[in-house]
Amino acid sequence: MLSKAQFWVLTVLAGLTALLVVGNMVRFSENRRLQAEVSERAMYVQQTVPLESLSREIALALAQLGVQRQDPQIQALLSSLGITVTVNQPGQADSAQLPAKGGKP
């Protein structure tokens, strides 16, 4: 038979254990949600990597068109996207050059 003190000690320990179990379940659930979010972001990054070369080709084609037609609207569009267009000096190819990624020529 348990004394009153032993009963209350065991009851408190059981209550703390129950709280820890519930806390662990909440943490586990939160961890799963965060893992799913990270996985979703990783999949997004994997899907957008191939589009980078396509985006670069489109920007280059727009830059060449803007230089050939001397169209300020196309140059303004590229500029608004952070792309600067420079024209090659005479004697070089007659095409526009896009700076390397990061905006540096």
Phi and psi of 104, rounded to 5°? -95, 135
The pTM (predicted TM-score) of the whole model is 0.47
Confidence at 105, pLDDT banded by 50, 70, 90: very low
pLDDT of residue 103: 47
> Is the confidence at residue 93, as pLDDT, over 90?
no
By C-alpha distance, which of 52, 77, 105, 72 is closest to 97?
A: 105
Q: How many CA atoms lie within 13 A of 95 on its CB side?
A: 8
Phi and psi of 63, rounded to 5°? -65, -45
Who has greater pLDDT, 48 or 100? 48
For 31-89, the pLDDT digits (tens) are: 999 999 999 999 999 988 888 888 889 888 988 888 888 888 888 888 898 888 877 76
Who has greater pLDDT, 95 or 8? 8
Give dist(CA 66, CA 60) in Å, integer: 10
